[in-house]
Amino acid sequence: MSNPSENLPLAGMAALVTGGAGGIGRSTARLLVADGAHVVIASRNAGHLQEVADELGPLAAESGGSIRWTACDATDSDQILAAVSLAAEPAGRLDMAVSVPGGGVMAAVLDYEPEQVAETVSFNVVVPFIMIKHAGRHMADAGGGSIVAVSSTSAIQSCRFLAPYCAGKAGVDALVRVAADELGDRNVRVNAVRPGLTATDTTQGLANNDSVVAQYLEQQPLQRIGRPDDIAGAIRYLAGPESSFTTGQFITVDGGHTLRSFVDFTDVVAARAQS
């Protein structure tokens, strides 16, 4: 009798998720494990990684996949190279790689220091670049694979008080397009997901602000903010074989927010300046 887990769509495949201890990374790892993948999650916080691994362990046992973790800095090229090698061990190759980390601080364009701009743009672009470099090389040598970066609706909209973050995420989109173009003939696909406002640990200041949420909902056809599972579902599609003819593309998961206008963070910035 065949093992039911052998029929799962990702059975025997290997994946690496950086930012795997956070909301989107955790949800992504759960979907990958549930479909039979051998998943390594990575972030700086070993304690949170262990919590996720403990949570997903029973699911991995049921699906025939596995969940492991490694503490690493997504901006450190050597550490990501080691994480790629670790993730490839169960299958002898790396099939899927997901780069989640990103972020920035709010300020007016005239108030940012050049060093803040450089740091924010660099962080948002260099993190997925390092993943593409090491995961992409491994996949190209092994016959192919899929890389997914997390971008943002800020890449395509003007977001007041988030100029460096917008520039960084626009850079992610440009990086994804070029990488997809260069790596396609090696059967390596590169895509991205653009989340709208999504309730995670890093966005709770906005997601719990009634005024900000009201502005978002006023500009959205779908009347709720995003959940990590919403973003993870799009990542799972782009990472897996279901999207085998898709590369250099972007799935915007924002409740339709980009159909209208971005919110104004003037009040948020003013409140933070007074605190």
Q: Which residue in 24, 247, 22 sits closest to 136, CA to CA? A: 247
Dig out the tokens for 92 from the structure: 């002898």
Q: How confident is the model at residue 214 (pLDDT cuts 50, 70, 90)?
A: very high
Report helix, strand or coil for 13.
coil
pLDDT at residue number 204: 86
| Residue 112: count of CB within 10 angstroms of its CB | 18
Tell me the CA distances in angstroms from 102 to 29, 61, 62, 166, 216, one per residue in order.
18, 31, 32, 11, 21
Element (H or E) spanning 43, and its range?
strand 38-43
What CA–CA distance (Å, rounded) separates 164 from 124? 9
Listed in sequence order, the DSSP H helices in the chain are: 23-34, 46-63, 77-88, 114-142, 163-183, 204-207, 210-218, 228-239, 266-274
Maximum distance among all Cα pairs of the chain, rounded to whole angstroms: 68
Predicted confidence (pLDDT) per residue in 31-67, tens digit: 999 999 999 999 999 999 999 999 999 999 999 999 9
Contact 106, 272 (CB under 8 A): yes
The pLDDT value given to residue 271? 80
177-198: b (≥16 Cβ within 10 Å) or e:
bebbeebeebebbbbbbbbbbb
Looking at the annotation, which residues are catalytic?
Answer: 165
CATH homologous superfamily of 4-201+225-255: NAD(P)-binding Rossmann-like Domain (3.40.50.720)
117-166 per-position pLDDT tens digit? 999 999 999 999 999 999 999 999 999 999 999 999 999 999 999 999 99
pLDDT-derived band of residue 4, with 50, 70 and 90 as boundaries?
low
Give domain limits for the chain: 4-201+225-255
Distance, CA of 146 to CA of 219 (rounded, Å): 33
Q: Is the dihedral of CA 253, 257, 260, 263 positive or negative?
A: negative
Of 90, 87, 84, 72, the residue nearest 19 (C-alpha): 72
Place of tokens 């491994």: 138
CB burial of residue 158 (10 Å; 0-12, 13-18, 19+): exposed
